Amino acid sequence: MIREISVNEISDGKRYSARDLVRLGCHGCQGCSDCCRDQGTMIILDPYDVFSLCKALQTDFQSLVRSGLIRIQIVDGISQPGLAVRPYYVFEEQDGRKRPRRMDCCVFLNTEGRCSIHDTRPGICRLFPLARLYENDSFSYILQKDQCSQPDGSKIRIKNWLGIPELARYEDFVLRYHRLLQAIRPSAEEYQDAEYLRKLNFGFLKLFFMTPYHTKEDFYPQYDERVLRIRGI
């Protein structure tokens, strides 16, 4: 999701690469799952996330949508999938009485407050409390301040924090997917054309998500092959 905000406002102002050591350790998230709650109406997924999830759960995108684990919503003008959230209630003392307060948490957060798909969690979850900063047709990592509930832990190299195999290939994919979203984002005039939007969004979802990936094969060539077909949507 695109956010137009000042980097200095939300971070320490530094740009990091995956090789950098950053104070990211969060004491093993002991007893905490705050970043899995109240993070909006869904946790956005990219094609690599969907590929990894389908591979780990031995399922396909359509089944995940049908079972309510993935939902689809318009983000920055384009239909995108995300992990669904479900209501969750905490009881807080108010005027001497315990009152329920609704929060939304990710559907994969289990009753012990742990991620049930930790080894295959989406890129956005792996990043937290980092974020990606896109500028000059590239991206770097920034450390968001006041986001993690247990900050100031040990220094960790970003590539270890992310724990993604073949990180250079992944980062190349991330940048190219970002460019793709930018390129197909509807203009102000296209926003007025309901038929154009319908075709664009259906075509995008079908090409990059609904058409199953071969989960026993390498993800990246499959993604590249779909990019070549984008003109058809």
Residue ranges in contact with ligand SF4 by CB under 6 A? 26, 29, 32-36, 43, 83, 106, 108-109, 115, 117, 121-122, 125, 128, 148-150
How far is 33 from 20, CA to CA, in rounded Å? 25
Min. distance of Cβ 149 from ligand SF4 in angstroms?
A: 4
Q: Which of 80, 201 has the CB closer to ligand SF4?
A: 80
Min. distance of Cβ 83 from ligand SF4 in angstroms?
A: 6
Q: Which of 115, 227 has the CB closer to ligand SF4?
A: 115
Q: Which of 149, 211 has the CB closer to ligand SF4?
A: 149
Min. distance of Cβ 137 from ligand SF4 in angstroms?
A: 29
Q: Which of 122, 140 has the CB closer to ligand SF4?
A: 122
Taking the CA atoms of 73, 75, 79 and 82 in sequence, report the sign of the dihedral they define. negative
Helices (H), the chain: 7-10, 47-57, 61-66, 123-127, 158-162, 167-184, 188-191, 194-205, 219-228
How far is 135 from 1, CA to CA, in rounded Å? 15
Min. distance of Cβ 188 from ligand SF4 in angstroms?
A: 33
Min. distance of Cβ 39 from ligand SF4 in angstroms?
A: 7
How far is 231 from 233, CA to CA, in rounded Å? 6
Q: Who contacts 127 (Cβ-Cβ below 8 Å, separation ≥6)? A: 141, 162
Q: Who contacts 151 (Cβ-Cβ below 8 Å, separation ≥6)? A: 23, 26, 129
| Residue type (1 letter), 154 | S
Q: Which of 110, 187 has the CB closer to ligand SF4?
A: 110
Q: Is the peptide bond before 100 cis (omega within 30 degrees of 0)?
A: no
Q: Which of 79, 150 has the CB closer to ligand SF4?
A: 150
The alpha carbons of the chain give a radius of gyration, in whole angstroms, of 19
Calculated CA dihedral for residues 104, 108, 109, 114, nearest 10 degrees: -160
Min. distance of Cβ 136 from ligand SF4 in angstroms?
A: 29
